[in-house]
Amino acid sequence: MAGAGGGNDIQWCFSQVKGAVDDDVAEADIISTVEFNHSGELLATGDKGGRVVIFQQEQENKTQTHSRGEYNVYSTFQSHEPEFDYLKSLEIEEKINKIRWLPQKNAAQFLLSTNDKTIKLWKISERDKRPEGYNLKEEDGRYRDPTTVTTLRVPVFRPMDLMVEASPRRIFANAHTYHINSISINSDYETYLSADDLRINLWHLEITDRSFNIVDIKPANMEELTEVITAAEFHPNSCNTFVYSSSKGTIRLCDMRASALCDRHSKLFEEPEDPSNRSFFSEIISSISDVKFSHSGRYMMTRDYLSVKIWDLNMENRPVETYQVHEYLRSKLCSLYENDCIFDKFECCWNGSDSVVMTGSYNNFFRMFDRNTKRDITLEASRENNKPRTVLKPRKVCASGKRKKDEISVDSLFKKKEKEIKHMKWVSLGSMVKGVYVANKCFNDSWTVITPCRVWHQKKKKKKKTK
């Protein structure tokens, strides 16, 4: 994060929060997933009610260099509806589990959204012009009597208020018996994978009535089931390579060229267990909740309950870097098991240059780790104390003993159990970080954008420049 010359540090400023003011929000409005598009201009959020809301960043005002464009509602549509599985007598939730944007090819935007069972491809297009001056139709659409037409004119396009339309283009259904937890678009931009607890399927974006099963870990006898798939992702550059993580803390890298069914992994990434930390909860906390390739494709990052690990794809026997997210929770695992918090799944993400990784924690905290300087920082995304462009102060949690001023004790974290930051998204443009989104279960249906502001220190006089 340090730069040349006088030296500059990136600090983080609170930018914007959207959502309900009070905590008493309807269940259906709770945000379940978020995703920036590739440019960072659009932010898509999915909620428990099956709705997708897309926000667009307003164009930056060139005169005000320090104002970062705010995100405003761009489009809202109902992506999934609740369904009922009559055979099993179970309801299929409409909650959106994942959203993934397709790279933009033309004026329209495309995204994939999925609930537990069905994936849908949505097209979001703008309309800001409409044709006027038809010969055979009136302006309101009624047809004219052809005999009344005396002259002919060419219809012209006139501007109209911007209308953003979302239409479902493909519905990929009936391919998953278990709950879909991941979707990942291939670098060929033609295929994508969808993963549930026990199987991974490969789809072609144009073909909805067929998908290929590429991983199947379901045992013949379900009583022997001890491991499930927790996340899967395609490699950013090699269109034949993907990884999937498991509840036992392993990551398998598969090559689709090897065989049609990639049950036999090409590489198995697993860190040997630390015998001094062994407990009944070891397996649960080793369960991987998220796996993300670096932009370079050389590394991948995994998130388990207490840590973030960075793996070099060339080395399978241990990660190259490990960062502790909230080690102070290790002594509380029994309580966390009791109240089910130990099963919470956190996400993680890379910045654009792969130099910083970020993940969420409880109590509105999110953690950033600089891989180069080995510095880490804890920030709080709490809108209660923050106004726009407030520089966020680093927070510290004290594990035990005397609590210093400004520190937070571990026990106070458990007072509000609902506060957790699970979704962390980092959109970057080259090596410039554009924005960080934070979705908060406590805030229920709100999200926060936190952006970097650069603080310059010069030798003689201190000039503060924000970006």
Partner 1 sequence: MFARGIKRKCFDGEEDIEGTLAGFKSVPSYNLQRQSLLDMSLVKLQLCHMLVEPNLCRSVLIANTVRQIQEEMTQDGTWQVINAQNTGQASLDRLVSSDILCRSTKEQNEGKLVPSYSGFSKDFENTPSQDIISDLSTVTSVQAPRNPQSNNVWEMENSQENRGNFQKSLDQIFETLENKNPNSVEDLFSDVDNSYYDLDTVLTGMMNNTKMGHCDVLESFSSQTTTNSNSNCKSDINELDHIVEILVES
Site residues (vs partner 1, CB under 8 A): 26-27, 84, 86-91, 93, 116, 177-179, 197-198, 221-223, 225-228, 230, 247, 277-281, 283-284, 287, 330-335, 337-340, 343, 400, 417-418
Q: Which is nearer to partner 1, 238 or 282 (CB)?
A: 282
Number of helical (H) and strand (E) elements in the chain, helices listed first = 3, 33
End-to-end C-alpha distance for the chain, whole angstroms: 14
Smallest distance from the beta carbon of 253 to partner 1, in angstroms? Answer: 21
Q: How many C-beta neighbours within 10 Å does residue 383 have?
A: 18
Sequential DSSP letters for 333-345: HHHHHHTTGGG--
Q: Residue 146: CB partners within 8 Å, gap ≥ 6?
A: 136
Task: State whether residue 54 is helix, strand or coil.
Answer: strand
Measured CA to CA, the distance from residue 10 to residue 8 in angstroms comes to: 7
Smallest distance from the beta carbon of 188 to partner 1, in angstroms? Answer: 30
**Which of 259, 251, 248 has its CA nearest to residue 293?**
251
Q: Which is nearer to partner 1, 440 or 451 (CB)?
A: 440
Q: Which is nearer to partner 1, 79 or 287 (CB)?
A: 287
Q: Which is nearer to partner 1, 88 or 153 (CB)?
A: 88
Smallest distance from the beta carbon of 93 to partner 1, in angstroms? Answer: 8
Smallest distance from the beta carbon of 63 to partner 1, in angstroms? Answer: 48
Structure tokens at 194: 């969808």
Smallest distance from the beta carbon of 282 to partner 1, in angstroms? Answer: 9
Smallest distance from the beta carbon of 418 to partner 1, in angstroms? Answer: 8
Measured CA to CA, the distance from residue 420 to residue 440 in angstroms comes to: 6
Smallest distance from the beta carbon of 443 to partner 1, in angstroms? Answer: 16
Q: Which is nearer to partner 1, 99 or 341 (CB)?
A: 341
Measured CA to CA, the distance from residue 432 to residue 351 in angstroms comes to: 9
Structure tokens at 81: 């509806």
**H-assigned helices in 151-272:** none
**What does the buried/exposed string (b/e) look like for 394-415 if buried means 16 or more CB atoms within 10 Å of the residue's CB?**
ebebeeeeebeeeebebeebbe
Q: Which is nearer to partner 1, 67 or 247 (CB)?
A: 247
Q: Which is nearer to partner 1, 61 or 331 (CB)?
A: 331
Structure tokens at 339: 């109240």
Q: Which is nearer to partner 1, 73 or 334 (CB)?
A: 334
**Which of 271, 265, 311, 277 has its CA nearest to residue 291?**
311
The residue whose two tokens read 């009559």 is: 86
Measured CA to CA, the distance from residue 333 to residue 315 in angstroms comes to: 30
Smallest distance from the beta carbon of 331 to partner 1, in angstroms? Answer: 4
